[in-house]
Structure 1
């Protein structure tokens, strides 16, 4: 019989592509993760993971096992929730900033629905300011979003520098015209910070692309339309960071969790703990 703990390490390893990252997320030692994979391979008589100094990836046998492993873990979570002491149930409405969705959200959501299968999770993706307005109106229970430095609402997760990004910064700067900006629509925090930085430096600018989707903004930036401002850790691939001496410095932003007053504390805490465990360690 396959060990569910070993399978959990295997599934997390596939998500992260790293033994170190898997150990961090599961709260165990890296050597323990290695032992779990080795024992799983021994039990099945197949090599499941290919690893060298540069990468970790599943073998064909590992890919074949992956779907079954996820199914077994999901079923185990549902049974544990149904018959165990922890029977969290209800509805939890989560709001997430657009740019956070492109980073570590997938693993967090997968863990939550596996651990709490009786909870109906509803997610809204929007700009941080819009999410805050929705929460004030009572439409969201928990918000993961950005705030300006100096604001005090929410539980601080980490502080992040904003950077200028472009497909070819030298070409755009050589044109000498008003700086072309690619930005979320108002009331975007990153848009406001970029505009204030340029205004303070007396640099003319113009908006060449507005889109509520980060994927749309990224496509425009990769096409060479203009400059995009994003948190450094969330910089899309294919774009180059502009050196600090080429454009005005940008203010940092902070990422926070904001709980609605009156929301179900047990549900909010369950998801908040997963978010803190998987996001905060990367910015400690």
Structure 2
């Protein structure tokens, strides 16, 4: 591993030498020295003004280094697989809420067949997984509405509706003089306290785009990325949240017999569907056990989407 190129990769990702140095836990001067060393060899790699960004030469170095880095890792894994075909490590990208639903069943089945294969799970969102897969830091990920790059191959698991979830008692408080239909108008939506995901969420970006097109200025009461926590807050009547269908199966696990009634609603003009896919990097080496793992992941994800 070339340490200067690794530092260059970090700076390119952070778009800042100071943030890159902080992430790499080195001094800013040390980081700058590594970048200058590379620039003597390859030319200017970053523009500092008006905005810190890669130059064309910097982009070329980045693209090439990512390919070399991935090929080196694939070679190491392939040689290891020649020595022991039933041992290794799978690096999976999976949202933490989906991991709680899928991983126990996946690991029960997969570990019975391949006890010598370890699993490293990275939590995040689809955009994060795409970057990590491109860099060779993941073998595969389960994402929604992913961008399929030329080096990726994706298999569709299914389409997943996203609903607005609200406690009946909250709806009665916000609309005391009328019954609430299963489909709300945008004007009715403005009267409800909302629980949002962070703006980096793929689903939240779709929702925010709809609000902008409707010229609605909605301010969330709570912003939190964990769907489990969003549902718990919705049950308490703190607000209502947009929830993918897979996560609704979790509601039954923490609803007591005396829990408030939850309503599953839609919004006029807001068509929210997640295209759920498993994505792999076709340039990476794929041992047989990875194919088995992907098959089990697809089966369990399809079951969870159908509940």
- Shorter-chain TM band: 0.5 to 0.7
Give the C-alpha shift of residue 250 in structure 1: 2.8
Task: Tell me the secondary structure at the aligned position of residue 104 of structure 1.
Answer: helix
Greater relative contact order (CA < 8 Å, ≥ 6 in sequence): 2
In 1: Cα distance, 2:148 partner to 2:88 partner? 35
Aligned to 1:217, which of 222, 230, 233?
A: 230
**1:214/1:126 CA distance change after superposition, 3 Å:** same
In 2: Cα distance, 1:130 partner to 1:178 partner? 33
**1:222/1:282 CA distance change after superposition, 3 Å:** closer
**1:149/1:234 CA distance change after superposition, 3 Å:** farther
Q: Deviation per CA, 1:124-161, whole angstroms, max 9, x where unpaired?
A: 22222222222222221110121169999621110111
Q: Deviation per CA, 1:48-99, whole angstroms, max 9, x where unpaired?
A: xxxxxxxxxxxxxxxxxxxxxxxxxxxxxxxxxxxxxx94211110111233
Does the 8 A contact of 1:166 with 1:224 survive in 2?
A: yes
Unmatched segments (≥5 aa) in structure 2: 1-83, 177-187, 256-260
Does the 8 A contact of 1:146 with 1:256 survive in 2?
A: yes
Give the 5 Å matches for 1:60-209: 87-147=85-145, 154-168=154-168, 170-171=171-172, 173-174=174-175, 179-209=192-222
**1:180/1:193 CA distance change after superposition, 3 Å:** farther
Give the C-alpha shift of residue 283 in structure 1: 5.4
Give the 5 Å matches for 1:27-42: none
In 1: Cα distance, 2:162 partner to 2:136 partner? 30
In 2: Cα distance, 1:102 partner to 1:172 partner? 33
Tell me the residue number matched to 2:262. Answer: 240
Does the 8 A contact of 1:161 with 1:232 survive in 2?
A: yes
Matched, 1:262 2:263: no
Larger Rg: 2
The RMSD of aligned alpha carbons is: 3.1
In 1: Cα distance, 2:147 partner to 2:130 partner? 16
Tell me the residue number matched to 2:271. Answer: 250
In 1: Cα distance, 2:219 partner to 2:139 partner? 37
Tell me the residue number matched to 1:229. Answer: 242
TM-score, normalised relative to structure 1 = 0.60
Q: Deviation per CA, 1:204-223, whole angstroms, max 9, x where unpaired?
A: 31122222322322232222
Tell me the residue number matched to 1:273. Answer: 295
Does the 8 A contact of 2:235 with 2:262 survive in 1?
A: no
> How many aligned positions are there?
198
**1:134/1:269 CA distance change after superposition, 3 Å:** same
**1:279/1:198 CA distance change after superposition, 3 Å:** same
Unmatched segments (≥5 aa) in structure 1: 1-85
